[in-house]
């Protein structure tokens, strides 16, 4: 029914916009609905994350996931949809503990929202550290691509259990 956009009255999935998106996405399991719920939000839609997800899921857009990030990003088609995705990336590429990765995730979100000089300086320092360490694992070019995908994520990242409950 969701693939046909027949979802009127379904909590979190009711409305013409989400109905149209579900027809594009063609969800066929709970994971697709969870992602749709997390992605059909103003921040993610502003970055076109919902459209990238649908295209990648349906084989309309190619993507690749570095081997070391397969576990963290393969089920989201190399998109950082959830807070846990970003945290996993920092754990894998930076060697951070789960607590450190969560602290960095919060700091990125805070400084990215602040949009002041001090925040930009903190983010630039973190970026330099990230690129240096991550490039040893996935190479310089991939490190820069991953970093460029971290910043927009902070504006809309959902925690996965939250998205699961709504789906």
pLDDT tens digits for 5-36?
666 666 677 788 888 889 999 999 999 999 99
* Region of poorest pLDDT, from 74-88, 101-115, 145-159: 145-159
Nearest of 131, 132, 80, 129 to residue 109 by alpha carbon: 80
Cα distance between residue 130 and residue 126, in whole Å: 6
128: tokens are 């330099």
2: tokens are 């969701």
pLDDT one-digit tens code per residue, 115-154:
778 888 888 999 999 999 999 999 999 999 999 888 877 6
Element containing residue 33 per DSSP (H, E)? helix 30-39
Q: Could you identify the residue written with the tokens 């990242």? A: 157
DSSP 138: H
What is the overall mean pLDDT for the chain?
Answer: 86
- Number of residues written out for the chain: 167
Cα distance between residue 74 and residue 63, in whole Å: 10
Prediction pTM value:
0.84
């Amino acid at each position: 029914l969701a693939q046909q956009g027949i979802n009127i009255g379904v909590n979190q999935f009711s409305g013409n916009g989400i109905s149209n998106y579900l027809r594009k996405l063609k969800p066929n399991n709970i994971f697709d609905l969870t992602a749709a719920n997390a992605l059909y939000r103003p921040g993610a839609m502003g970055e076109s994350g919902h459209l990238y997800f649908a295209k990648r899921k349906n084989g309309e857009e190619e993507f690749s996931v570095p081997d070391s990030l397969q576990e963290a990003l393969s089920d989201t088609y190399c998109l950082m949809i959830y807070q846990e995705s970003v945290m996993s990336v920092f754990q894998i590429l930076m060697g951070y503990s789960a607590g450190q990765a969560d602290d960095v995730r919060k700091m990125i979100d805070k400084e990215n929202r602040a949009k002041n000089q001090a925040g930009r300086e903190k983010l630039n320092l973190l970026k330099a550290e990230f690129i240096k360490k991550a490039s040893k694992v996935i190479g310089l070019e991939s490190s820069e691509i991953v970093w460029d995908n971290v910043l927009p994520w902070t504006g809309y990242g959902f925690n996965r259990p939250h998205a699961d409950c709504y789906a």
